[in-house]
Chains A and B, each alone.
Chain A
Amino acid sequence: MEYIQAMYSTITLSATFRLSAPLLLGLAGYCFSNKAGIMNIALESFMMISAFFALLGSYLFHSAFIGALFGVVAGTVLSFLYGVLVFHAGANGLITGVGFNLSGWGLTTMLLVAIFHTRGATNVGAVSFSPIDVPILRDIPYLGKIFNQQTILVYLGPLLMLIAWVVMYKTPFGVRIRAVGLNRRAAETAGVSVMKYSWIAMLLSGACMGLSGTFISLNSLAMFSENMTGGRGFMVLASAMVAGGNPLKAMLCGFIFAYCDALTLTWSGFDVYSQVISMLPYLAVLLVLFLTHLKNIKSFGRFEAS
């Protein structure tokens, strides 16, 4: 029974809101890449490396905002390098992605040991974002407990997603980027440069993954440890794939996965194997993928290798 109660407790819902941030922040940029037809598994490394640099920036300058700047710059630089390899040097996107992810793991762990002399850095003197006490929200009975006392990054997540939605569907930029993904040649004949828009989408996803990495290392507790992102970059990828790049649908996916993530926190106090709970977010993604592809059963046998 207590499980059920935990499922809708304010603690769980508040954690859901909080944990949605890394997904939503990243999705706000990656949705554009997805719409432009770019599959990018290197997101995980973007997130991991920018998380580390955000911590480093905050550590060096004792400011969470400079940390965030470091994170965003790191993410953008990474996406730039990835773009050069994949768009211009003819490298296979997936192999490049694997290379990036492993570089990310190697680089962050190496720097972690080299700079902080540990494989898990906490209390190194970096400043994290502190929760904001919103005046009116504080007094609303139920919602206040859920939405109040979060850091700016958490509020930024849904906000950026809404902006992304507006940009995607209400501006020329959005129309064009969607056209690029749907029919490259048609876009090209409409004077829309596929290369230019792919690049913008790529850099946007890098910058946004930088923010989401910042959340990982600087939200409320400033810390970084080996493999800290734990596949959240892949979850961003999966959410965007399920949502077909639509920011609102992607936001919904993000919340669902964040909810499962939150349950791992609230259920972990109970008498249940923590591994079962830890699997939940990943299983949720797989389940959603499975359900959204159910309709494809009809076309069985028309397999084309990618």
Chain B
Amino acid sequence: MKKLRFTLSEDGKISLMKYGLSLVATLAVGAVMILLQGENPAAAFVEIFRGAFGSRAAIGNTLHWAVPCMLVGSAALVAFKSGVMNLGLEGQLYLGGFVAGCAGYMVSLPPVLHPLFCLLAGGLAGMLWAMLPAFLKLLFKVDEVITTLLLNYVAIFFTELLTLLVISGAKALGTNSIMTPLIHDSAKLTPLIPGTSATTGIFVAVAVVLCVYLLYRYTLTGYELKQVGENLKFARVGGVNANKMFIIIFLVSGFIAGLCGSAETIGVNNRFISRFSSNLGWDGVMITRVASNSPLGVLVVSLIWAAFKAGALHMERTTTLNRYIINLLQALFVLFISIDYGMLYRKYLGWRARKKMVEEEARKLEN
């Protein structure tokens, strides 16, 4: 019985304002920066677009980047939707990547089974790593923000160390060359479009996003997770066990982050390479923020994010600009998005109403 309505609700207006203003502001900042570097902003954006969608290889690149974006975006979503600050995605991702790398070359399994096994193993590793801050918080009330942040650094060195122990090779030759042996062919994710870097990993990623979507849309646990995040007191009064939810959040979030690391390892690098992530974990936080914690939103935003990643590399090759400007603009966009436009709007309305009322009272007194 829904009627089609063309007027926007208050919420709709505010979110339109939010995304619109943020986009305009970010583009403006970006244009100025590109101009300062002596390039034409329009041309730069065209190059980005071309790099993301301009050819078969470009589309392949975008799809290839979409895999980690979707996965780590979902991992962040699970945590942030429930108000848990898991800033340790980066670390969980490294553990996942390392374990998947080991599973890829140490174990022999038939083709389809092998990648699945690697993904599962990597996911579990990420999950275990995420348990650490979860227990520190639950048992000792150590703030999960600081522990997850620091564990990211520990994870980088820890996986490097494990890699060295596993390959029992000579001492470090310099951090950039630390890697596990190549994984078996059976463990690799199959290429999706021949001649490009797109793999079947995209199916895994989409499946995970869909699972997260279904979790929140139809299951009891998803319902409770959402309520805990939006109003903890309400959830507790309704009989939700908040401690249990907290553990579940970290388990699921860590597992998906681990999956992301695994997918990078067996789908892109074909081995675990230390420091491969270059802030992927943080992309997740940004993606879920831009998607306003909506699973399907993560799907869309991840594609955009991936397009920018693929496009930025292309832009770097064809112009004098470097790709870090895109990283910067993405982060700036997140900053603009995180402004509470609704609050500012309400403040403005309240201020206007008060002014009006005082004027009326003054008029009444005069008469």
Do A and B belong to a common assembly? yes
Interface residues of A (CB under 8 A from B): 39, 41, 85, 89-92, 94-96, 98-103, 105-107, 109-110, 113-114, 230-231, 234-235, 237-238, 241, 271, 273-276, 278-279, 282-283, 285-286, 289-290, 293-294, 296-297, 299-301, 303-306
**Set A107, A278, A283: member contacting B328, Cβ < 8 A:** A107
**Set B228, B243, B286: member contacting A102, Cβ < 8 A:** B286
Q: What chain A residues lie within 8 Å of B109 (beta carbons)?
A: none
Known pairs A41-B145, A90-B343; list 4 more (Cβ under 8 Å): A95-B289, A100-B331, A105-B327, A231-B149
**Set B87, B150, B171: member contacting A94, Cβ < 8 A:** B87
Q: Is B71 part of the contact surface with A, judged by Cβ < 8 Å? A: no
Say whether A305 contacts B143, CB under 8 Å.
no
Q: What chain B residues lie within 8 Å of A300 (beta carbons)?
A: 138-139
Say whether B339 contacts A89, CB under 8 Å.
yes
Cα distance A218–B367 in the bound complex, in angstroms: 71
Interface SS of chain A: helix
Say whether B338 contacts A99, CB under 8 Å.
yes
Number of inter-chain CB pairs below 8 Å: 166
Q: Is B24 part of the contact surface with A, judged by Cβ < 8 Å? A: no
Say whether A96 contacts B83, CB under 8 Å.
no
Say whether B140 contacts A293, CB under 8 Å.
yes
Q: What chain A residues lie within 8 Å of B141 (beta carbons)?
A: 293, 296, 299
Cα distance A102–B324 in the bound complex, in angstroms: 10
Say whether B242 contacts A305, CB under 8 Å.
yes
Q: What chain A residues lie within 8 Å of B153 (beta carbons)?
A: 230-231, 279, 282
Which candidate, B93-101, B158-166, B187-195, B354-362, is the interface stretch facing chain A? B158-166
Interface size class of B (residues with CB under 8 A): 35 or more
Say whether A278 contacts B157, CB under 8 Å.
yes
Say whether A98 contacts B282, CB under 8 Å.
yes
Say whether B340 contacts A106, CB under 8 Å.
no
Q: Which residue of A lies closest to B146 (CB)?
A: A238
Q: What chain B residues lie within 8 Å of A113 (beta carbons)?
A: 322, 324
Which B292-327 residues sit within 8 Å CB-CB of chain A? 321-322, 324-327
* Smallest beta-carbon distance B323→chain A, Å: 8
Q: Which residue of B lies closest to A280 (CB)?
A: B157
**Set B140, B164, B332: member contacting A275, Cβ < 8 A:** B164
Q: What chain A residues lie within 8 Å of B232 (beta carbons)?
A: 304-305
Q: Which residue of B lies closest to A281 (CB)?
A: B153
Say whether A106 contacts B327, CB under 8 Å.
yes
Q: Is B285 part of the contact surface with A, judged by Cβ < 8 Å? A: yes
* Smallest beta-carbon distance B8→chain A, Å: 21
Q: Is B142 part of the contact surface with A, judged by Cβ < 8 Å? A: yes
Q: What chain A residues lie within 8 Å of B325 (beta carbons)?
A: 106, 110
**Set A106, A282, A290: member contacting B324, Cβ < 8 A:** A106
